[in-house]
C-alpha cells in the first residue's frame, strides 16, 4: 500500500495550500504491466462468431474495436514509460505523465468493458467471449486501478489525509492546464509536426465517419474522448497549439489540405454526404459564433437565416416548383441568398438589438418561429403561393460550375469523386471563405469592439463604442454567412422544407444544436465551432437508435461539459482564465508604508 505524506513546503504551482503526494513506484510498474497485457490481448480472438460488428474472431491481427483498445493500451504504456523516466519519451509528456496515464487507462478499460458487455448482450451471454477478451479486460482493469494510485502531476489542495480515487480522477480533468512548452526545434521540424498533427486528425476523423454500426462508433467515442483528454493533460495538445499559433498560415494550409484529402479516402459516397453536411452545419455554427461568441448576443433563431438563404437560392435555381421563372448561375444564386439573409439580419436586428440578455433571446426565438410558420403558410391557401407550403421547393437542379456538373462523377488522378464528394469540395471552398472572414473580422478593430461589448456593454459604451451599430454589424455578418451555407444546402439536399428550420428537433441543423455546437466547441474560437458542429452532426448520424433521446443525451453532455470544461473543447486564453482558478489574487498586492520600522504587506480582498 502506498504511503501518504504531507508536504507543507511552498510550491511554484498555481494551486496553494498543503499538498498530498502519493509516491507509489509500484503503481507505475503495475500500470505498465497491465497495459502491456491488454495490448497483447488485442491480437487474440474476442468472440467466436462474425455476427458482432467487426471481425473479432481472428487471432494475429486486431480489427474493429480491437484496434481502438490497442491504441488506448499503447498510449497508456507510452505515458507510463514516460513517467518512469525512460530516456527519449520525455517529449511526450511535457505537462506531466500521471494524469495522462490515468485518463488513457480509464479510456482503455471503458472501451473493452463496453465491448465485452455489447458482445454478451447481442450474442446471448458471456459464454460468447473468447479468452482474448478476458485477457484484455483483466489487463486493462489492472492498469486502470494502478493508474488511480499514481501521484499527482500538480499540487493538490488536501482537505483530508486521503483524497480518494474519485478525487484523483476529478483532479486529472479539472487541474490547471499544462503550460505551453517553448519548442527549440528548427522551423522545418515544427512544420512537419504540424503537418503530422493534421494528418493524424484526418485519420481519426476518417476512421470515425467510416465506422459501420453503433457499437464500433460508441467505442470510437470512448477511446477518442479519453485519449484526447489524456494528451491534453500531458501537454501534447498545448505544444501543438503553440506551434500552430507560431505558424498560423502553415496550420491553416495543412488543415485545408487534410480536408481536401478526405473525399479521396472514401469509397462509400454516403460517408462523403455526411462530411458535406458536417461542413454545412459547422460553417453555420461558425457564423453563429460571430453573434454569440464574439459579440455576446444570444440568438435563438439563427437557423432562420440559413433557411432564408436556402429558400432564396432555391427560388432562383430554375426548378419547376419555383413560382419565379428564372435560373440564376450558381454564383448569382449564392450571392442572392447571402444578400437576402443580410437584409433580413438588418431588418430584424435594427429594432431588436436595443434589447439585452433574455429579452433579446426571446425576440430572436420568435423570429425563428415566425419564419418557419410564414414559409409554411405561403402555399396559395393561407397566403400567396410562393414556397409551396409544407411541401417545400423540390427538384432543385445540381450545380454547374465552369461546365462541371457536380451531380456527375468526376475522375481525378485515378480517384472517382461522386456527387456528394463534389459537393464536399464545393462546401469546403465556402468554409474557407467563412473562416477567413471570421479570422479577419475577429482580429480587426470591429472584432475588438465586439469583445468589449460582450464583456461589459456599459463600460464599452462609456469608452466611446457605438454598441448598437457594432451589434448590428455582428448580426448582419452572421446572417450573411448563414445565407452562404444555406444556398449550398439547398442544392445538396435537392429540396427545402419548413420543418428543416425548427428551434429544436431530433435532426440538425436547428437553432438549439447550432448554439450547443458553439458552446461545446468553444465560443470565440475558429476551430471550436467546427469541431463542435462536426460532433453534433456526426453523433446523431451514427447513433440513429438514439433518435428519441438525442435531446436528453445532449443535455446531459452539456451539463457534464459545464462541470468539467466550461470553456469548451477548444478555448482561448481569456476563457481559461475566466472559468478556472489560477491561484492568483483578484486584486494585486499593495505595499503599505513601514510603521514603526516594520514593513507590512496587505493583499487586497
Radius of gyration of the chain (CA): 27
Query: Within the chain, which residue ranges are assigned CATH 1.10.3470?
Result: 271-560
Residue 253: partners with Cβ closer than 8 Å, 6 or more residues away: none
SS3 130: coil
Residue ranges in the chain whose pLDDT is less than 70: 1-24, 87-88, 153-183, 505-508, 572-605
Q: What is the pLDDT of residue 590?
A: 46
Q: What is the pLDDT of residue 589?
A: 46
3-state secondary structure 427-456: HHHHHHHHHHHHHHHHCCHHHHHHHHHHHC
**How far is the C-alpha of 558 from the C-alpha of 572, rounded, in Å?**
19
Q: What is the pTM of this model?
A: 0.81
Instruction: Please report, for residues 244, 351, 438, 459, 525, the alpha-carbon distance to residue 294 in angstroms, rounded to integers and kept in the order given.
Output: 21, 21, 10, 16, 9
Q: What is the pLDDT of residue 601?
A: 39
Q: What is the pLDDT of residue 75?
A: 93
Task: Please tell us whether the domain made up of 271-560 is placed in CATH 1.10.3470.
Answer: yes
SS3 601: strand
Q: What is the pLDDT of residue 264?
A: 84
Question: Grid coordinates in use for 71?
Answer: 491504441
Q: Cα-flanking dihedrals φ and ψ of residue 95, to 5°?
A: -100, 5
Return the closest-CA partner of residue 389 out of 496, 513, 246. 496
According to DSSP, residue 290 is labeled I
Q: Cα-flanking dihedrals φ and ψ of residue 157, to 5°?
A: -70, 115
Q: What is the pLDDT of residue 576?
A: 64
Q: Cα-flanking dihedrals φ and ψ of residue 423, to 5°?
A: -70, -25
Q: Cα-flanking dihedrals φ and ψ of residue 146, to 5°?
A: -65, -35
Task: Pick left, alpha or beta for residue 237 (phi over 0 → left; psi -120 to 50 → alpha; otherwise beta).
Answer: alpha
Each residue's pLDDT tens digit, 1-33: 334 333 333 333 333 333 334 445 788 889 999
Q: What is the pLDDT of residue 9?
A: 36
Amino acid at each position: 500500500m502506498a504511503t501518504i505524506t504531507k508536504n507543507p513546503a511552498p510550491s511554484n504551482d498555481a494551486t496553494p495550500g498543503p499538498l498530498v503526494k502519493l509516491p507509489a513506484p509500484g503503481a507505475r510498474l503495475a500500470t505498465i504491466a497491465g497495459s502491456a497485457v491488454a495490448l497483447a490481448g488485442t491480437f487474440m480472438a474476442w468472440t467466436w462468431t462474425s455476427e458482432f460488428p467487426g471481425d473479432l474472431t481472428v487471432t494475429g491481427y486486431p480489427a474493429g474495436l480491437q484496434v481502438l483498445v490497442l491504441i488506448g493500451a499503447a498510449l497508456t504504456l507510452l505515458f507510463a514509460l514516460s513517467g518512469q523516466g525512460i530516456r527519449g519519451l520525455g517529449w511526450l509528456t511535457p505537462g506531466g505523465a500521471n494524469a495522462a496515464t490515468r485518463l488513457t487507462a480509464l479510456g482503455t478499460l471503458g472501451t473493452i468493458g463496453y465491448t465485452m458487455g455489447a458482445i454478451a448482450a447481442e450474442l446471448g451471454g458471456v459464454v460468447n467471449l473468447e479468452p482474448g477478451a478476458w485477457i484484455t479486460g483483466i489487463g486493462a482493469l489492472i492498469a486502470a486501478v494502478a493508474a488511480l494510485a499514481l501521484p499527482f502531476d500538480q499540487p493538490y489542495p488536501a482537505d483530508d489525509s486521503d483524497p480518494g480515487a474519485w478525487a484523483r480522477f476529478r483532479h486529472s480533468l479539472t487541474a490547471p492546464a499544462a503550460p505551453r512548452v517553448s519548442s527549440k526545434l528548427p522551423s522545418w521540424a515544427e512544420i512537419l509536426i504540424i503537418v503530422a498533427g493534421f494528418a493524424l486528425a484526418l485519420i481519426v476523423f476518417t476512421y470515425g465517419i467510416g465506422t459501420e454500426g453503433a457499437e464500433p462508433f460508441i467505442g470510437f467515442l470512448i477511446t477518442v474522448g479519453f485519449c484526447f483528454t489524456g494528451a491534453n493533460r500531458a501537454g501534447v495538445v498545448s505544444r501543438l497549439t503553440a506551434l500552430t499559433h507560431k505558424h498560423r498560415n502553415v496550420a491553416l494550409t495543412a488543415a485545408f489540405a487534410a480536408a481536401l484529402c478526405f473525399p479521396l479516402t472514401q469509397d462509400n459516397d454516403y460517408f462523403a454526404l455526411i462530411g458535406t453536411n458536417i461542413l454545412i452545419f459547422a460553417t453555420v455554427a461558425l457564423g453563429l459564433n460571430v453573434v454569440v461568441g464574439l459579440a455576446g448576443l444570444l440568438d435563438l433563431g439563427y437557423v432562420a437565416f440559413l433557411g432564408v438563404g436556402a429558400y432564396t437560392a432555391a427560388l432562383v435555381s430554375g426548378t419547376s416548383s419555383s413560382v419565379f421563372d428564372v435560373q440564376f448561375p450558381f454564383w448569382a444564386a449564392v450571392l442572392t441568398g447571402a444578400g437576402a439573409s443580410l437584409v433580413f439580419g438588418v431588418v430584424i436586428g435594427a429594432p431588436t438589438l436595443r434589447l439585452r440578455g433574455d429579452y433579446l433571446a426571446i425576440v430572436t426565438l420568435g423570429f425563428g418561429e415566425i419564419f418557419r410558420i410564414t414559409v409554411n403558410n405561403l402555399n396559395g391557401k393561407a397566403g400567396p403561393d410562393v414556397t409551396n407550403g409544407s411541401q417545400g421547393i423540390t427538384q432543385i437542379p445540381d450545380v454547374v460550375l465552369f461546365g462541371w456538373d457536380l451531380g456527375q462523377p468526376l475522375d481525378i488522378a485515378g480517384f472517382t469523386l461522386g456527387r456528394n464528394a463534389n459537393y464536399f469540395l464545393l462546401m469546403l471552398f465556402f468554409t474557407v471563405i467563412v473562416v477567413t472572414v471570421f479570422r479577419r473580422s475577429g482580429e480587426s478593430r470591429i472584432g475588438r469592439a465586439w469583445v468589449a461589448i460582450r464583456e461589459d456593454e456599459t463600460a464599452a459604451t462609456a469608452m466611446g463604442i457605438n454598441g448598437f451599430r457594432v451589434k448590428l454589424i455582428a448580426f448582419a455578418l452572421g446572417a450573411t454567412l448563414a445565407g452562404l451555407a444555406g444556398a449550398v444546402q439547398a442544392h445538396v439536399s435537392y429540396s427545402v422544407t419548413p420543418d428543416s428550420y425548427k428551434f429544436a428537433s431530433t435532426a440538425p441543423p436547428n437553432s438549439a444544436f447550432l448554439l450547443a455546437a458553439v458552446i461545446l466547441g468553444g465560443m470565440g474560437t475558429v476551430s471550436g465551432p467546427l469541431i463542435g458542429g462536426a460532433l453534433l452532426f456526426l453523433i446523431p448520424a451514427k447513433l440513429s437508435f438514439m433518435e428519441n433521446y438525442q435531446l436528453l443525451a445532449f443535455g446531459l453532455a452539456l451539463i457534464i461539459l459545464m462541470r468539467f470544461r466550461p470553456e469548451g473543447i477548444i478555448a482561448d486564453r481569456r476563457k481559461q482564465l475566466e472559468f478556472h482558478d489560477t491561484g492568483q489574487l483578484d486584486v494585486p498586492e499593495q505595499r503599505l508604508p513601514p510603521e514603526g520600522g516594520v514593513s507590512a504587506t496587505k493583499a487586497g480582498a
